[in-house]
Amino acid sequence: MISTLDLANRVGELVRIPSVNPLQSGPKGGQGAETALAERIAEWSQDLGAEVLLDEVLPGRPNVYARFQGQTDRVVVIDTHLDTVSVEHMTRDPFDGVVEGDRLYGRGSVDTKASFAIVLSVLEELLADSKRPVPTVYVIGTISEEAGGLLGASRFNSWAQSQDLGIDQLIVAEPTMCAPVHGHKGIFVLRATVHGHAAHSSKPELGANAISGAGRIIVALDHEHERLIGQRASTVVGNGSLSITMIQGGLAANIIPDHCTVQASRRVAPGEDTAELITSMSKIMVDAADPLRIEVDLEGGAAFSAFYQDPDSPLVRQIADLAGTAPEAATYGSNACSYPNLANEVILFGPGSIDQAHQAVEWIDVAEIGRAADVYRTWLRTK
């Protein structure tokens, strides 16, 4: 059996392969996107005898799918995203991947390269004993999770359906402190562009102030947020919520602004329909801006429903028992938003805390790596 320290060093190897999402890249992060990491995962999987496909989602940005034949026709998928967030704000070498004391440092160590190293190492242990995992296992790496609209997960969803894959259980690798996460909110973002009429600021009555119209939209959306959070939540995931995240407008101090944009983020609770929410939220914006004309656009062209799995489902109970943890809901989102009805059961699971992700210094507790490996060792041997 591979030691926990050796597992940590294998995670460190992957940390040393930069895979910063290109929408957040900069001088420190390089320009390679997820390609080098996808190729390394493909190489490692092929060395273990897997059938491997590199599926180019965007030019130079492939997903990787590795299939490990099991002893049964049960199919499980472990989805780990390849990309990391920016490293420009990091205060130590983001790609050193070194173990110091009880921690492994570097971008992606907790979010989420540890899961790649753990799963492939556990499969390596099985194969070294001339054994196969009980289920047929797909280890997949997806691009564009941290920014860009979950394009990698959406592509895998389409590919899996085209292959009639028939997935029984799907684990989305995220740092959950080895607790099975069975729900989180979905999201969409609306951008309202308010059109006014420019005039000299000494005679505002000659113009139509677009920023004032945007202000009315903000007040109306704040009222809607208060209504939402005042409702009784139907699940532990909580209520939907609404946040104003960006406003841009104005030309000069002495010009009545003729345009202004407001961006609002809507978190979607389980049971809420995104199409209905987009319609109702757009109406709130239009009514508030009246008499000014506005255009409302769905940012990125995509809206993601909430993810929710019954906490009493077999996979949730099994992983909780193996890890010695309790089922939880998450405050953040994940690729699980892209997998409605793709698998019979879906959870988030992985080592380490989300609190260490995206930080100026990212790290993962080495003991968490060993803990997650023990869960996978048992899960992949269970009929």
Mean pLDDT across the chain: 96
| pLDDT computed for residue 326 by the predictor | 98
| pLDDT computed for residue 383 by the predictor | 82
Mean pLDDT within 113-142? 96
Q: What is the pLDDT of residues 197-237, one digit of tens each?
A: 999 999 999 999 999 999 999 999 999 999 999 999 999 99
- CATH code of the region 4-183+306-379: 3.40.630.10
Whole-model pTM: value is 0.92
Q: What is the pLDDT of residues 160-194, one digit of tens each?
A: 999 999 999 999 999 999 999 999 999 999 999 99
CA distances in angstroms from 327 to 110, 152, 158, 309, listed in the order given: 20, 27, 29, 10
CA distances in angstroms from 25 to 90, 203, 228, 335, listed in the order given: 13, 45, 36, 21
**pLDDT band, residue 285 (cuts 50/70/90):** very high
Q: Is the pLDDT of residue 238 over 90?
A: yes
Contact 313, 345 (CB under 8 A): yes
**Using omega within 30 degrees of 0 as the cis cutoff, is the peptide bond preceding 274 cis?**
no
The dihedrals phi and psi of 135, each to the nearest 5 degrees, come to -85, 160
**pLDDT band, residue 31 (cuts 50/70/90):** confident
Residue 259 C-alpha from the chain's centroid? 33
Q: Is the pLDDT of residue 282 over 90?
A: yes
Q: Is the pLDDT of residue 117 over 90?
A: yes
Calpha distance 265→115 (Å, rounded): 30
CA distances in angstroms from 329 to 22, 270, 317, 354, listed in the order given: 29, 11, 14, 13
Task: Give every CB contact of residue 100 below 8 A, 6+ residues apart in sequence.
Answer: none
| pLDDT computed for residue 1 by the predictor | 87
**pLDDT band, residue 129 (cuts 50/70/90):** confident
| pLDDT computed for residue 76 by the predictor | 98
Contact 21, 84 (CB under 8 A): yes
Q: Is the pLDDT of residue 284 over 90?
A: yes
Q: Where are the domains of the chain?
A: 4-183+306-379, 186-301
Task: Give every CB contact of residue 356 below 8 A, 6+ residues apart in sequence.
Answer: 110, 111, 175, 362, 363, 364
Mean pLDDT within 52-75? 97
Q: Is the pLDDT of residue 130 over 90?
A: no
Report the half-sphere exposure of 120 (CA within 13 A, side-chain side).
29
Calpha distance 125→133 (Å, rounded): 10
The domain 186-301 is classified under which CATH number: 3.40.50.620, 2.120.10.30, 3.30.70.360, 3.90.1150.200? Answer: 3.30.70.360
| pLDDT computed for residue 376 by the predictor | 98
| pLDDT computed for residue 5 by the predictor | 95
| pLDDT computed for residue 276 by the predictor | 97
b/e 322-350 (16+ beta carbons within 10 angstroms → b) = bbebebbbbeebbbbbbbeebbebbbbbb
- The residue with greater pLDDT, 13 or 1, is 13
**pLDDT band, residue 111 (cuts 50/70/90):** very high
| pLDDT computed for residue 367 by the predictor | 97
| pLDDT computed for residue 340 by the predictor | 92
Q: Measure CA of the first residue to CA of the last residue in the chain; give whole Å.
A: 21
Q: Is the pLDDT of residue 322 over 90?
A: yes
